[in-house]
Structure 1
Amino acid sequence: MTSTPTATDTDLSPSYRIPLAVIGIGMLLALANIWLGALVGLFGVFLLVQTLTLTLRFTDSALEVYRRDTMIRQFPYADWQHWEIFWSPVPVLFYFREVNSIHFLPILFDPSTLRACLETHCAMAQTPE
């Protein structure tokens, strides 16, 4: 299932900070423990692949997740109850809760654009309970 973006849709630009930092930490850990370093480094490579292949698109009615040009998931804003971006100095994790589920996503996208889109489309879900 694909969708053509409209003029009001916003696609988030990728951010490679977290995947590259995790890969770097894995390389440093490999100096002390090769297996731990390899495990952390592989996780960093996984995050890098996700950054290269996934796109978040904010539409008028939902947050859509795409793998290349194929929509793999849609989260209607009407179902959102709360959202938060963790650790403001260096945003690393995006959390949001819907009526029936919760989601945690690493910040693989431009955090300032993510925050602006959330404040625009999901302001009602930002207030703490």
Structure 2
Amino acid sequence: MKSTVLSSETITLDPNYRIPFVIIIGGIALSLLQIILGAVVILFGIFLLIQANIIKLKFTSIALEVYRGEKNIRTFPYIEWENWEIFWQPVPILLYFKEVNSIHFIPIIFDAITLRECLEKYCKKA
């Protein structure tokens, strides 16, 4: 998957459905052993699948912006970032980043390669 370049300063990450599908398949298998727990896992996978379609991450020259549809719901200025990490290589599943006053965890339901490239470009690791 390639990400869409909106301008020379904004990169929008494409959705990646790998994690939601793996969770849904795992939930189906789990439901053969424990129906209620399997159903909960399947619902979580469906939730992530929906979020992958609704939530958009945009990297601008000054901040990571989070959109729900066309509405900007959160902005994370790079100047406030202290550190970031993508967990569990070679299958990245979780983005961690620390700002001055808060810590964030985001499931990687986006193009992981472009995500890493943007993080390395805009947010140098401490």
Provide the TM-score with structure 1 as the length reference.
Answer: 0.92
1:88 partnered with 2:89: yes
Question: Cα distance, 1:6 vs. partner?
Answer: 3.5
Tell me what 1:107 maps to.
Answer: 108
Provide the TM-score with structure 2 as the length reference.
Answer: 0.94
1:4-83 superposed matches below 5 A: 6-83=7-84
Q: Which runs of 5+ in 1 are unaligned?
A: none
Runs (4+) off by over 4 Å? none
Question: Cα distance, 1:14 vs. partner?
Answer: 0.5
Q: Write 1 or 2 for the structure with the bigger share of strand.
A: 2
SS in 2 for 1:51: helix
Q: Distance in 1 between matches of 2:67 and 2:39?
A: 29
Q: Distance in 2 between matches of 1:31 and 1:13?
A: 33
Question: Cα distance, 1:109 vs. partner?
Answer: 0.4
Report the AA paired with residue 21 of structure 1: V
Q: Distance in 2 between matches of 1:38 and 1:88?
A: 28
SS in 2 for 1:109: coil
Q: Which runs of 5+ in 2 are unaligned?
A: 1-5
Q: Distance in 2 between matches of 1:117 and 1:22?
A: 26
SS in 1 for 2:105: strand
Q: Distance in 1 between matches of 2:49 and 2:20?
A: 5
